[in-house]
Amino acid sequence: MRPVPRAVRLVIAAGAVSAVALAAAGCSGGGASADDDAVQVVATTTQVGDFTRELVGEQAEVTQLLQPGASAHSFDPSAAQLRALADADALVVNGAGLEEWLDDAVAASGFDGVLVDASEGVELHGTHEHDHDDAAHDDADADAAHDHETDASAEASGDDHDGHDHATGNPHIWTGPALAEQMVGTIAHGLADVPGLDPAGVEANEEAYLERVRALEAWIDENVDAVPVADRLLVTNHDAFTYFVDAYDVTFVGSVIPSFDDNAEPSAAEIDDLVEKIRETGVQAVFSEASISPKAAETIAREAGVTVYSGDDALYGDSLGVAGSEGATYLGSQVHNVRLILESWGVEPSPVPAALED
């Protein structure tokens, strides 16, 4: 039996959920719930979901498609999520080619609200290919798999797609706090165009939140600056920290999965190569990521004779953490990540600013 294409699966699911919703409305007599008049915003990833909630406050209901620990690279929205997208007044996306499934979801749901692309205006970098030099930023071959821009969503939002460039490069832009600040500003600007949202309220929330993001940046700067550049070495699960590495002059020795995509698998030769680089450079740790199995990272760390950071000490890369974890919010995830990276460099971080403690 031939497999059903994803686009067809999504259309079928959207039709099914629409039928269920109409039946439910008929049974209830068509009465409106208390929330029917609320502005509905859908956000794709955990990071843009967190940013969006901070910006809208109590003005809107935010539905986040990806849950903590889920991969943004391989995701199929449920029928209920497609229905939420169909009813949404706005859709906030990471962009930069991260949500490869988004075209199908937008087409299947019939979303026709305001599209906000948080990556707009960001200069994307390529893979580091286990090497921290400028030439790595021009690796078009490695980027080709991520050349996914949301054609259907651009049309839904009224954008002129004919003049819209397709995104290529590493999509994990939030790992650079200065770029996260830019993302927040872009989202705030886009939300100001959503009917029913008070632009002044969004702007006030933006200013308050960006003060905290800037406090994060200052804290990271203070602590990383205390580490000699030669000692700033990093090995992670996959190539998700490009923008952090570039912002803080870190040498990216390599990743367990040499790809943007956390679903890729390293070959035996790639594992051997990374073990050798760890030994040659003097890296003291291998970092797993909270949303990825730590087995390969643990194997490489064991073979190289270095510490592995996994479990509660894994980094938050593609996804934020569950409620109650240190990485449940963007700010918390960054404090967690930087604290552990500094520890791997033998540095005791300074106290976290009060603005970041909640």
What phi and psi values does residue 194 have, to the nearest 5 degrees?
Answer: -85, 120
Q: Minimal CA–CA distance to 225: which of 342, 335, 79? A: 342
CA–CA dist 354, 358 (Å, integer): 8
**Structure-derived torsion over alpha carbons of residues 51, 57, 59, 63, reported in degrees to the nearest 10:** 50
Buried b (16+ CB within 10 A) or exposed e, 116-130: bbbbeebebbbbbbb
Considering the domain delimited by 228-356, tell me its CATH architecture: 3-Layer(aba) Sandwich (3.40)
pTM: 0.81
Domain boundaries, the chain: 6-30+39-213, 228-356
Same fold, 6-30+39-213 and 228-356: yes
- The strand pair at 39-43 and 90-93 is best described as parallel
- Tallying the residues shown for the chain, one arrives at 358
What are the CA-CA distances from residue 58 to residues 38, 64, 315, 331 (Å)? 10, 15, 30, 20
CATH tag for 6-30+39-213 (out of 3.40.50.1980, 3.30.1330.90, 3.40.50.720, 3.10.20.70): 3.40.50.1980
Question: Kind and range of the H or E element at 297?
Answer: helix 295-304
pLDDT by residue for the chain (358 residues), tens only, comes to 444 444 444 444 444 444 433 333 333 333 333 456 899 999 999 999 999 999 999 999 999 999 998 888 889 999 999 999 999 999 999 999 999 999 999 999 999 999 999 999 999 997 554 343 333 333 333 333 333 333 333 333 334 333 334 457 999 999 999 999 999 999 999 999 999 999 999 999 999 999 999 999 999 999 999 999 999 999 999 889 999 999 999 999 999 987 655 556 778 898 999 999 999 999 999 999 998 989 999 999 999 999 999 999 999 999 999 999 999 999 999 999 999 999 999 999 999 999 998 6
- Residue 1 makes CB contacts below 8 A (sequence gap 6+) with none
